[in-house]
């Protein structure tokens, strides 16, 4: 089932594996389509284009980040010593290996996408009060000289200020999104005619209605520049005992500034909030994350013991991470990639 528009849909490697298992990737047909001139082979560059198109088709049309594709290509093609050309006999196996390598990468770094099909824009237009407020806000922000007038060519910055939450695809998100925006601006944004606020609102409504109709016929899938923290990465850390012990040793050493072998519990929370993103924890400065930490540490602090030695810290750290993983499973947090990487 398609995700609600504007909502987050998590794409891991399962869609690609299901497509391969169900025979949705027909290698012989793809080879024939791409073997221009009937030369009997494809270059690895042509192979890559085929695989990336197949992967996108199995992932709601989402375009996969280049770093994921590069890593998968190196694993499935370069590391296996494939020649610069791939003949028809080898094509099916190499294509499948490449797609499976992409799937493996997506298991580690799932794509978060929104499918924009015009529904959110139509809902906005149907809510007259909300749309009127939005149009007024845009007009005021763009009317920098307080003249009470805007020209049609200022329609572009108005549209660009809208975003996925309103159901509007960013122009840079996909070639299709850029093409749609260009088409609408060519149709509605030409000329130097000056518009008052009511005229501007009427024009904006017409543009958005046209955009919604286009998206209904041709939905656009937008990859979100975000990461969903749902506890899954944390569970992987907990499952690797050696990695977990190494992590807690490092954490204790960094917190034990005076090297007396004791830690204060308040310092432990600060450590998790500030440095836990590498283990899939939400940054402490995220509003939604504060509630997660409050819920977990409310339980942890009940004994009022104050200090911890290294052994106690390791036990406590495991309890904290298990509780955080469960809390995130129940209440996932969406953070932008830049924030998640801090």
83, pLDDT greater than 60? no
Q: Token pair 């520049």 is at which residue?
A: 225
SS3 category, 198:
helix
CA distance 302 to 147: 61
Residue intervals of the chain classified under CATH 1.10.238.10 are: 227-340
Average pLDDT over residues 12-30: 87
Q: Give the per-residue pLDDT at 304.
A: 55
Distance of alpha carbon 29 from alpha carbon 192, whole angstroms? 52
Confirm or reject CATH 3.60.90 for domain 117-223, answering yes or no.
Answer: no
State in words which class domain 227-340 has.
mainly alpha
pTM of the model: 0.66
The whole-chain average pLDDT of the chain stands at 82
What pLDDT was estimated at residue 342?
A: 39
Report pLDDT for 16.
Answer: 93
124 vs 208: CA distance, rounded Å: 9
In this predicted structure, the answer to whether residue 259 has a pLDDT above a threshold of 70 is yes
Q: Is the pLDDT of residue 126 over 60?
A: yes
Band of pLDDT at residue 24, cut at 50, 70 and 90: confident
What pLDDT, on a 0 to 100 scale, did the predictor assign at position 284?
62
Question: E-assigned strands of 30-177?
Answer: 41-43, 85-87, 111-116, 150-151
pLDDT score for 153: 83
Indicate the burial class of 302 (C-beta count within 10 angstroms; 0-12, 13-18, 19 or more): exposed
pLDDT at position 4, please?
A: 40
At 164-218, the pLDDT tens digits run 889 999 888 888 999 999 999 999 988 778 899 999 999 999 999 999 999 999 9
Q: What is the mean pLDDT of residues 79-96?
A: 77
CA distances for 27 relative to 30, 94, 99, 330, angstroms: 5, 10, 12, 41
Structure confidence by residue, pLDDT tens digits, 48-66: 889 888 998 888 888 888 8
**Residue 17 burial (CB < 10 Å; 0-12/13-18/19+)?**
middle
Would you tell me how many other CB atoms lie within 10 Å of the CB of residue 264? 12
Instruction: Tell me how far apart the alpha carbons of residues 115 and 167 are, in angstroms, rounded to a whole number.
Output: 9
């Amino acid at each position: 089932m398609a995700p609600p528009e504007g909502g987050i849909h998590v794409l891991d490697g399962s869609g690609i594996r299901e497509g391969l298992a169900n025979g949705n990737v027909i290698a012989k047909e793809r080879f024939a389509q791409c073997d221009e001139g009937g030369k009997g082979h494809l270059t690895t560059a042509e192979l890559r284009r085929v695989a990336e198109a197949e992967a996108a088709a199995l992932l709601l049309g989402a375009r996969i980040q280049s770093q994921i594709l590069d890593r998968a290509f190196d694993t499935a093609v370069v590391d296996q010593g494939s020649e610069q050309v791939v003949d028809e006999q080898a094509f099916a196996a190499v294509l499948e290996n490449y797609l499976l390598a992409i799937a493996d990468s997506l298991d580690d770094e799932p794509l978060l996408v929104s499918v924009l099909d015009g529904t959110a824009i139509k809902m906005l237009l149907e809510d007259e009060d909300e749309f009127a407020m939005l149009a007024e806000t845009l007009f005021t922000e763009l009317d920098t000289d307080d003249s009470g007038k805007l020209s049609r060519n200022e329609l572009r910055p108005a549209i660009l200020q809208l975003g996925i939450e309103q159901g509007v695809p960013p122009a840079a998100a996909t070639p299709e999104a850029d093409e749609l925006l260009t088409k609408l601006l060519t149709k509605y944004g030409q000329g130097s005619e000056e518009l008052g606020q009511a005229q501007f609102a009427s024009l904006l409504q017409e543009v958005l209605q046209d955009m919604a109709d286009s998206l209904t016929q041709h939905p656009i899938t937008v990859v979100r520049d975000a990461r969903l923290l749902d506890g899954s990465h944390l569970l992987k850390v907990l499952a690797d005992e050696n990695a977990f012990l190494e992590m807690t040793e490092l954490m204790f050493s960094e917190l034990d500034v005076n090297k007396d072998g004791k830690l204060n519990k308040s310092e432990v929370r600060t450590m998790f909030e500030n440095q836990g993103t590498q283990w899939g924890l939400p940054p402490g400065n995220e509003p939604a994350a504060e509630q997660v930490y409050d819920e977990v540490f409310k339980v942890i602090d009940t004994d009022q013991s104050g200090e911890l030695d290294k052994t106690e810290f390791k036990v406590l750290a495991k309890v904290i991470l298990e509780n955080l993983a469960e809390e995130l499973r129940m209440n996932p947090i969406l953070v932008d990639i830049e924030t998640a990487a801090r």
